[in-house]
Amino acid sequence: MADTDDSKITGLLGRDFKRSLAAGNLNLCMTVRYSRTIEIAQVTRLAGYDALYCDLEHSALTIDQVSQISMAAAMSGIVPLVRVPCHGHHYISRVLDGGAHGVVVPHVDTVDEAKACVDACRYPPMGGRSLTGLGPLAGQSVGTTDAYRLINENTVLIVMLESPEAIKNADAIAAVEGVDMLLIGTNDLCMEMGIPGQLDSDQVRDAYQTTADACKKHGKALGIGGIKEGPMLDAIYAMGGRFIMGRVDGVLMSMAATTEVKTLRKLGS
């Protein structure tokens, strides 16, 4: 029996994020690769995103930098996620200890790999994560037992399916307790399928449908990566995709800068 009134605990953004997804709400996430300081958290909030994720797989960001950004995002009311570069405790536990409220794990192809991810990000008895400070619960009146239970329940684990093998195993991966979302990395999936860049192909649609069916069956969320617009995005939304991995911060800056330059160049023409 819990001694803590969970409804009075604040700072568990993962809880609100999971509830929002379960309610069928659309959740948008900015990808951070180029920003190095905490101001990006405010930009993300003011733009209207629900989450940001710092990408340690495809950037030169350090754990120190993503920890600072994660803590700033949490204080801004934005769910801080971090994509780790590989599987394993040595990255997953460190980014969670540093302030992330969830992790995105790339290239999860099998049930065993999904279970290893759960083990890395959940405290006993759900997993094998090493005990540390109370993270998002710091400074609140909550007992140790309840604290680790709450963190276990509200830490977000997103596994990425990026190969035909992963899609084949989607149902079994979705059945793994402790996995919250299956997120398809569409660009890598297309490469693995031998159809690079063909994001609107029937193979991609079929892969999403297979994964969507698995998510519905096991009560997991479906995430969309690499598709930002067009009929395919509409189709995946209709399948139940409610988490969209948005554009990279540097790309968004470039798009805005290009638009401004085109506008200003019209002066005197």
CA–CA dist 146, 85 (Å, integer)? 31
Maximal C-alpha separation, the chain: 73
107 is catalytic: no
- How far apart, in whole angstroms, are the C-alpha atoms of residue 259 and residue 87? 39
Residue at token pair 């992790």: 103
Residue 9 — φ and ψ, nearest 5°?
-85, 130
Given 58, 87, 90, 107, which residue is catalytic?
58
Q: From CA 194, how far away is CA 177, in angstroms rounded?
A: 32
**Residues labelled catalytic:** 58
